[in-house]
Amino acid sequence: MSTLCVAVWRGQESGRFQEFDVPRRESQTVLDVVTYIQRSLDPTLAYRFACRVGMCGSCAMTVNGRARWTCRTHVDKVGESGRLEIAPLHNLPVVRDLVTDMTDFFDKWARARGQFQGGTTRKDEFARVAPDSPARRLADAAIECIGCGVCYSACDVVAWNPAYLGPAALNRAWTLMNDARDTGNRARLAAVAGDAGCHACHTHMSCSERCPKQIAPTASIAGLKRATIAAALRGDLGDG
């Protein structure tokens, strides 16, 4: 049985890579590799996972320099050289080893007004949204985000501008902008505009390239830019 040389980040913001030899197995994922290290080689290794099948978004790490879901990344695809380097996600504080603190990431969803804000009560009729309406199609294109943080980790602008809301929060805001039932769009537009919002995006498209769900946050951000410019020209963009 062949072995894989795996360098794993140990420590916090400062630390070092520690090397482990892991048996190579058929259909082995990077999460399998990390789990093997923790269960068989070093039980002090800290990492985060839950569902193992690409539904929860909690196992994202930097694998050979790229942010990925480790549960859906086969070693076959990334470890041809017989070597893997596994590090925590970029652009987030490291709690320990491979675990990052996602607080900033999710606080920015709240700051982008990513909460649904309805305007009806249980006594009102259900809203009828035609599945093929333009707004519903735009919402559909962006709605499958599970908040894994891969796009946020891949974004250069987040690294350069710590206040930047980031692709995931802006993508969430865009789905709500296209939700016919939501009543919070005026305040939402003000919250997502400007130097820390959608206008900070340089359209590098790393988020769209790396998103494991094939969502294009860049397109969502472009939609927000159009909507906020229209509001600013109307004089309808107060400070959020």
237 near another protein, judged by CB under 8 A:
yes
d(CA 170, CA 180) in angstroms, rounded, equals 18
232 near another protein, judged by CB under 8 A:
yes
The minimum distance between CB 224 and another protein, in angstroms, equals 11
**Which residue lies nearer to another protein by CB, 145 or 169?**
169
**Which residue lies nearer to another protein by CB, 99 or 237?**
237
3-state secondary structure at position 10: strand
- 206-234: burial string, b at 16+ Cβ within 10 Å, e else: bbbebbbeebbbbebbebbbebbeebeee
Choose the stretch contacting another protein; rule: CB under 8 A; options: 40-48, 53-61, 176-184, 232-240. Answer: 232-240
d(CA 101, CA 201) in angstroms, rounded, equals 23
Query: Applying CB under 8 A, which of residues 59, 154, 157, 169 lies at the interface with another protein?
Result: 157
Q: What is the DSSP string of 75-130?
A: HHHH-TTSEEEEEPPTTS-EEETTEE--HHHHHHHHHTT-S--B---TTSPPP---
170 near another protein, judged by CB under 8 A:
no
The minimum distance between CB 222 and another protein, in angstroms, equals 12
CB-CB contact of 102 with 159 (8 Å): no
Choose the stretch contacting another protein; rule: CB under 8 A; options: 19-27, 45-53, 107-115, 221-229. Answer: 221-229
What is the per-residue binding string for another protein in 173-212, x denoting contact by CB under 8 A? -----------------x--xxx-x-xx------------
